Amino acid sequence: MIIAWQGWRLEVPDRWGPVRVEGDADAGYLLMADLHRPRLGMRWKVAGGKRFKAEVAVTAAVRQEVGQLAAQDARPLSMDGGNWQAPLLYEDDEPPGRDICVAYSLTSGRIIELVYHAHHRDRVLTQRLLPTLVDTSRSEVWEWSIFDLSCRTPSGMVMAKHRLNAGDLSLSFTHKDGSAVTVRQLAMAKLALQRRPMERWIAEQAAWHGKQFKFGSSPVESEGEPKRVRQQVVRRRRYGWAWWLAKGYTVLARHDQERDRLVIVDATDEALASELMDTVGWASTKQTKGSMESMDTEED
């Protein structure tokens, strides 16, 4: 399973799942666990300055995590697949314990820390997790993948908010130029569409923008494949003075029959909505099952 969040990407076993997500691109934390215990924690934080030295910052992060004495046992590590500087690895001698890797990313200018909760002595962190770790800069397209929702956002867009309810996931992004986009995914789409038609789901999504907006036209179904339903939402004339509000939104919806998911995207620009809609579900097409199966076997 691929986890991609705030510019980084990592492959983890399918039975792991996020249980805590906080922060933004500058600083944040994500904790993954299985049914029995925590498995992996990730921290990231922007680091820099006139007197900044990667070796000093990485060593300080390890010291803060394991203490002064234990930090002396940390050893340099070679990391491929990215511009990593001064990576350090600390492995607990007597598990259960924590294996820790801290490195400075030249790509994003962040200190990234992985804390693997080892139940017994293994090499999951070094041989399975770290080789799949990828970091990207803010000028690149960012990939997002959490639970069953995955998409790609254009460069410069940042996450404004997220909602990760069981079976109903949504991610909202904004850009400094005023553009905004939200992607929502509902599980068990066949049941959802039996309960209410596509048009009502689109109306519910449009209602998120408030009473300042109204439907600009009737829903239109596309002629190509996959089938999409498009709905225009425009700002009411009496709110023309509200310069901070978008002039309108385009809402796109489709039934992903292969994954049985209802995908709804609304954006301030129709091209942006269509572009993001095309990327929804990208992580599901990745062939990662084989590599993760061996990881599960070594953990048990």
240: domain CATH number is 3.40.1000
What is the signed CA dihedral for 53, 56, 60, 63, rounded to 10 degrees?
A: 160
The residue type found at 300 is D
For residues 118 and 154, membership in a common domain is answered with no
Judging by beta carbons within 10 Å of its beta carbon (0-12, 13-18, 19+), is residue 179 exposed, middle or buried? middle
Look at residue 209 in the predicted model and tell me its pLDDT. Answer: 85
Does 108 share its domain with 129?
Answer: yes
76 inside domain? yes
Q: Which of 138, 165, 191 is the last residue of a domain?
A: 138
Q: Is 86 exposed, middle or buried (0-12, 13-18, 19+ CB in 10 A)?
A: middle
* CA angle centred on 2, ends 175 and 23, rounded to 5°: 45
Contact 168, 186 (CB under 8 A): yes
Same domain for 169 and 50: no
**What is the structure's pLDDT at 287?**
47
Same domain (yes/no): 133, 234? no
Q: What residues make up the domain containing 204?
A: 142-284
Residue 294 lies in a domain: no
In a structure prediction context, what are the per-residue pLDDT tens digits for the chain, which is 300 residues long? 999 999 999 999 999 999 999 999 999 999 999 998 999 999 999 998 888 899 999 999 988 888 887 888 888 888 876 689 999 999 887 778 889 999 999 999 999 999 999 888 788 888 899 999 999 999 999 999 999 999 999 999 999 999 999 889 999 999 999 999 999 999 999 999 999 998 899 988 888 888 888 888 777 877 666 788 988 988 898 988 888 888 899 999 999 999 999 999 999 999 999 999 999 999 987 644 444 444 444 444
Same domain, 131 and 148: no
Residues 184 and 154 in one domain: yes
pLDDT at 293: 47
Give the pLDDT score at 78: 85
Give me the residues paired with residue 46 across strands.
110
Is there a domain that residue 205 lies in?
A: yes
Say if 290 falls within a structural domain.
no
Q: Are residues 45 and 62 in the same domain?
A: yes
194 and 94 part of one domain:
no
Tens of pLDDT, residue by residue over 151-167, are 999 999 999 999 999 88
Residue-level pLDDT at 291:
44
What pLDDT, on the 0 to 100 scale, is given for residue 223?
64
Quote the CA–CA distance of 157 and 251 in Å, as a whole number. 19
* The overall pTM is greater than 0.85: yes
pLDDT at 145: 96
State whether 118 and 216 are in the same domain. Answer: no
Spatial CB neighbours of 139, under 8 Å, sequence gap ≥ 6:
155, 156
Residue 291 lies in a domain: no
Q: Report whether 16 contacts 33 (CB < 8 A).
A: yes
- Considering the domain architecture, whether residues 38 and 124 belong to the same structural domain is answered as yes
Query: What CA–CA distance (Å, rounded) separates 47 from 67?
Result: 21
Quick one: 133 and 146 in the same domain? no
Q: Is residue 4 within 8 Å of residue 12, measured between CB atoms? A: no
Residue 300: inside a domain: no
Which DSSP letter does residue 122 get? -
- Report the pLDDT value the prediction gives residue 298, as an integer from 0 to 100: 46
Name the domain boundary from 138, 172, 203.
Answer: 138
- State residue 286's pLDDT score: 65
Q: Domain ends where: 119, 138, 157?
A: 138
For 6-51, write each residue's pLDDT tens digit: 999 999 999 999 999 999 999 999 999 999 899 999 999 999 888 8
Q: Specify if 167 maps to a domain.
A: yes
- Which pLDDT belongs to residue 289? 45
What is residue 224's predicted lDDT score, i.e. its pLDDT?
A: 65
Sign of torsion over alpha carbons 245, 246, 247, 250 = negative
In a domain, 155, yes or no: yes
d(CA 224, CA 211): 33
| Residues 179 and 71 occupy one common structural domain | no
User: Based on the structure, what is the number of domains in the chain?
Assistant: 2
